[in-house]
Amino acid sequence: MALPFRKKTVSTDTLPEQLPKHIGFIMDGNGRWATKRGMPRKFGHREGAKNFHDLTRYCRSIGIQNISFYVFSTENWKRPQEEVDAIMDLLWQYLNDCDEYLEQEVRMIFIGDKSRLPERIQKRMLELEADSAKYNKMNLLLAINYGGRDEIKHAAQEIAAEVKAGTLQPDQITEDTISQHLYTKDVPDVDLLIRPSGELRLSNFLIWQCAYAEYYFTNVLWPDFSREELNKALVEYSKRGRRFGGV
Ligand code: FPP
């Protein structure tokens, strides 16, 4: 069953000309959003998923080239089984309701270690990646069973195997070699990292790719992080002086 989309409009008149090429979203605060309303945490995830849909559509409409969402971390398995199941159910529902994204020529990329996920989910992810590989209007990255350190470990293992096989010399390893072995190899580094809900940390999300990202924190909880809130973040981003270590 399709998730009821919230049809939202927001003025784009005040949007800055200089938009980030890659935005990372940490979808935090779903649990608190639900608890505040006396509802089980899984209702917060459901609202969070609706908001994810709405912001994805919005980013596509204003021409953001790459967006990444932290859906489920390598540490999230520690949550109560009922909550893990609820998130996996939402994910399964979403994976079967992606026509709109394909019609909009969005390329879908799933980052993280797929091997621990239920088999039907893994299979569907691979299908969607293959079906959307030809599209280039926007890259939509979903981090599922993802951890930044785990990703770098995985890259190191692949590089070590190439060295062992004699196809790569240790002194040929550059930063770009490492970038090219990450799940995000086809996507530029993150320009703007957004974390709502008042927490001020990266929580192992895209730690290599956020080396020069601008960070935007707000107390708004993820289900309430609307198009208007994103516009505020984009305006703030456009005012930051990015020097990448220069002067
Ligand atoms: C963090 O909030 C959120 C998560 C760990 C799960 C995010 C998942 C979704 C938004 C739903 C699935 C998405 C898709 C694309 C189908 P929290 O639970 O840690 O909130 P809290 O800090 O208030 O407890």
Query: Residues 139-190: pLDDT tens digits?
Result: 999 999 999 999 999 999 999 999 999 999 999 999 999 999 999 999 999 9
Given a contact cutoff of 8 angstroms between Cβ atoms, the answer to whether 64 and 140 are in contact is no
CB count within 10 Å of CB 219 equals 10
For residue range 32-52, list pLDDT tens digits in order: 999 999 999 999 999 999 999
Ligand 1 interacting residues, C-beta cut-off 6 A = 27-32, 45, 48-49, 52, 71, 76, 87, 90-91, 94, 197
146 beta partners: 73
CA of residue 71 to ligand 1 center, whole Å: 6
Q: Among 244, 242, 218, 241, which residue's Cα sits nearest to residue 231?
A: 218
Cα separation, 105 vs 134, whole angstroms: 8
Residue 7 confidence (pLDDT): 53
Query: What is the set of active-site residues?
Result: 28, 76
CA of residue 28 to ligand 1 center, whole Å: 6
CA of residue 76 to ligand 1 center, whole Å: 9
Across 185-197, b (16+ Cβ under 10 Å) vs e yields eebebbbbbbbbb
CA 81 to chain centre: 23
Question: 4: pLDDT confidence band, cut at 50, 70 and 90?
Answer: very low
Those residues whose C-beta lies under 8 Å from the C-beta of residue 108, and which sit 6 or more positions away, are 98, 101, 128, 129, 132, 140, 142
Residue 17 confidence (pLDDT): 87
Pocket test for ligand 1, best of 87, 94, 195, 204 (most atoms within 8 A of CB): 87
Cα separation, 109 vs 76, whole angstroms: 20
24 beta partners: 68, 193
CA of residue 58 to ligand 1 center, whole Å: 20
Pocket test for ligand 1, best of 5, 30, 37 (most atoms within 8 A of CB): 30
Residue 111 confidence (pLDDT): 98
Question: 201: pLDDT confidence band, cut at 50, 70 and 90?
Answer: very high
Given a contact cutoff of 8 angstroms between Cβ atoms, the answer to whether 184 and 206 are in contact is yes
